[in-house]
Amino acid sequence: MATKSITPHGISQDALVAYLCNVKNSVNEIVNALHGDYVESNTQLSAGTNTCKILHCAGYYRINGEMKALTGACIDVTGCAVPACTYGAWRVERSATATCVIPATANATGYATAALALAGLPALTADNASLGTIVLVNGTCDFVPKTVALDCADICITFADGTTTANAIACTALSLSSITVAS
């Protein structure tokens, strides 16, 4: 039985319906992702002008899909001291109204590797966007937040920027492979 063609290109009605459902599902995934909490721009975390603080640059972020402007600011590293020769980690989060620094749960005892320190970070707080993470190891003495400078020669530190729009949307690309051409 021949397939009913509804276009000059010979695409069947069933194939067109299947393709449009695929488009609709992809659009819904994008809309849902855009209603989330994420950073729209590069936050460029670094040591601040007061080198005991973390600097993040100006940019844009979304909380529950609502776009907000982020002004650059220096913020304190919080939590307890990290023992010498162990790793500590922090995540910089932004709510609708404030920026905060969240320490890994076992920074007080330290972590054997940077990966373990990152894994020790608690889950992202609801309705917050991640501006990025900081991982450090101090080779000679304890790292004491608000006291030891982040640009100290004895500290090996890595700043990673937060999730961007491109990472927040995880849709697969649309494909025309589901369309069959009528004979």
> Strand runs (DSSP E) across the chain, as ranges?
38-39, 46-47, 53-56, 59-63, 66-70, 73-76, 87-94, 99-103, 129-138, 155-161
Inform me whether the pLDDT recorded for 24 exceeds 90: no
From the CB of residue 49, how many other CB atoms can be counted at a distance below 10 Å? 7
- Which of 60-69, 108-117, 155-164 bottoms out in mean pLDDT, i.e. has the lowest? 155-164
Cα–Cα distances (Å) from 177 to 12, 71, 172, 173, in that order, read 13, 45, 13, 11
From the CB of residue 66, how many other CB atoms can be counted at a distance below 10 Å? 10
pLDDT, position 169: 33
- Spatial contact of 135 and 87, defined as CB atoms under 8 Å apart: yes
pLDDT, position 13: 74
Q: What is the pLDDT of residues 67-79, one digit of tens each?
A: 888 888 888 999 9
**DSSP-assigned letter for residue 115:** H
Q: Indicate the SS3 state at residue 32.
A: helix
Backbone CA torsion sign across 64, 104, 112, 134: positive
Most distant CA pair in the chain: distance in Å?
80
- Which of 6-10, 47-51, 132-136 bottoms out in mean pLDDT, i.e. has the lowest? 6-10
Q: What is the pLDDT of residues 75-91, one digit of tens each?
A: 899 999 999 999 999 99
pTM: 0.69
